Amino acid sequence: MNKLIVVTGGTKGIGRSIMECFARAGFDVATCARKATELADLKKEFESKYRVQALVKQADMSAIGQVKDFVQYILSLQRPVDVLVNNAGYFVPGSVISEPEGSLESMINSNLYSAYYMSRGLAKKMIEQRDGHIFNMCSIASIKAYPNGGSYAISKFAMLGLSKVLREELKEFGVRVTAVLPGATRTASWNGTDLPDERFMKVEDVAETILAAHAISKRSVVEEILIRPQLGDI
């Protein structure tokens, strides 16, 4: 049986690139997204192109109930989860002082609580099997405040904190935890920018770095991956 990677929000951007990278390495993939049509297209493409099993479930990761439903779906597969990538989240620029009321709650729900409940739900199985690897998609915004970062930066600072806590709690059980802190990466979030593509990192660079971090001996763990555009932050 193939190993299994679970990626939240895997139909686009970095999440999709991570799944493609692991699928090429022979992993079955499981993911969720809000749009059923995108999931159906992904399943068809992955199973045809990579000859692996693609397991999909419609879920909104900003809704805790649906996060828990996705956890139960993964557990119902009754197979080991080798890798969990908490990737779901979104960014809306704004300042703490002037951003719309509810921005903090919305981004905490999507960017932090989804990872918290996914990790709680699947880490227990990893502890039982004494094996597994959790990647939390943080950000440069997890370590560097910047204008117009607002609630997004707050949520990503907290995401790095979650990663550090999980690392301490799970290390004795053979479960590795890695925080991923990418800088500006060319995804749909940057559509409309007048900056050239060459100014951004490629999603494939982030994905391949994650696969490499997972592939090292289980005697070691890459605790943090900090990756920036060659010319610096945007």
**pLDDT tens track for 38-91:** 999 999 999 999 999 999 999 999 999 999 999 999 999 999 999 999 999 988
The model carries a pTM of: 0.95
User: Alpha-carbon distance 84 to 166, whole Å?
Assistant: 13
Per-residue pLDDT band for 192 (boundaries 50, 70, 90) equals low
Q: What pLDDT is attached to residue 191?
A: 66
**pLDDT tens track for 2-33:** 999 999 999 999 999 999 999 999 999 999 99
Q: What pLDDT is attached to residue 92?
A: 84
Domains and CATH numbers, the chain: 4-227 (3.40.50.720)
**C-alpha closest to that of 126 among 179, 71, 48:** 71
Per-residue exposure over 155-170, b if at least 16 CB sit within 10 Å of its own CB, e if not: bbbbbbebbeebbeeb
Q: What pLDDT is attached to residue 99?
A: 92
Q: Distance between alpha carbon 148 and the CA centroid of its chain, in Å? A: 23
- The pair of three-digit structure tokens given for residue 82, joined into one six-digit string: 């080798």
Q: What does the H/E/C string look like for 170-223?
A: HHHHCEEEEEEEECCECCHHHCCCCCCHHHCECHHHHHHHHHHHHHCCCCCCCC
Strands 175-182 and 224-227, how do they pair? parallel
Return the minimum-mean-pLDDT range out of 91-100, 142-151, 160-169, 190-199: 190-199
**C-alpha closest to that of 135 among 162, 109, 154, 155:** 162
Q: What pLDDT is attached to residue 178?
A: 98
Q: What pLDDT is attached to residue 215?
A: 98
Q: What is the mean pLDDT of residues 97-105?
A: 93
